[in-house]
Structure 1
Amino acid sequence: MVVIRLARHGRKNFPFYKIVVSDNRFSVKKRFIERIGFFNPFSLIKEKKFNINMQRFQHWVNKGAKPSDRTKDLIVKFNSIDTV
């Protein structure tokens, strides 16, 4: 099954997350199909805190990919989309 989820990067105590499309059988950090955005919880500028390519997100959702709960919450919070 294909999922859209966060992959943690960054250094200790300062996480940086990439939003990736991957197969749920593979490791979060090692193997993914496509990187479609990022989330930086420590950024003070809202535009640099969260970024996602919504066209690619919709493309993968239409093909059957399931976004994780946290990814859904971030999209609703930052992009003002009611339902994902």
Structure 2
Amino acid sequence: MALKIRLQRHGASHRPFYRMVVTEAAARRDGRFVEILGTYEPQAKRSEEELKLKLDRVDYWKSVGAKPTDTAASLIRKARREAPAEKAEA
């Protein structure tokens, strides 16, 4: 069972909302998944609500062999860059 970390599209027309999920590589884009890792809303009103990921779960799934798609990998990198800034503010 080859696992992928990829995005599922939800939301209305012209108002996309994505879930980052772990799924089998052969599953349909919006089909069955193993776990939800977070959300991505490109048209969010506030930048804090745009990308929410559970980075500890992302690390776990990558350690057991899940491969992120190109888009998912870029969003994971973006979340890692923003994570230290949030901790410094608290």
Same fold (TM over 0.5): yes
Q: One-letter code of the match for 2:27?
A: F
Partner in structure 2 of residue 62 of structure 1: 63
Coordinate RMSD, CA, aligned: 1.2
Tell which structure's C-alpha radius of gyration is larger: 2
Equivalent-residue separation in structure 2 for 1:75 and 1:15 (angstroms)? 18
Give the Å deviation of 1:57: 0.3
Equivalent-residue separation in structure 2 for 1:77 and 1:4 (angstroms)? 15
Partner in structure 2 of residue 13 of structure 1: 14
Equivalent-residue separation in structure 1 for 2:27 and 2:76 (angstroms)? 23
Give the Å deviation of 1:27: 0.8
Partner in structure 2 of residue 47 of structure 1: 48
Q: Indicate the structure with greater helix content.
A: 2
- After the TM superposition, which parts of structure 1 deviate over 6 Å for at least 4 consecutive aligned residues? none
TM-score norm. by structure 1 comes to 0.90
SS of the aligned residue for 1:80 comes to: helix
Unaligned runs of 5+ residues in structure 2 are: 83-90
TM-score norm. by structure 2 comes to 0.85
Equivalent-residue separation in structure 1 for 2:76 and 2:62 (angstroms)? 13
Equivalent-residue separation in structure 1 for 2:59 and 2:30 (angstroms)? 22
Tell me if structure 1 keeps the 8 A contact 2:21–2:36. yes
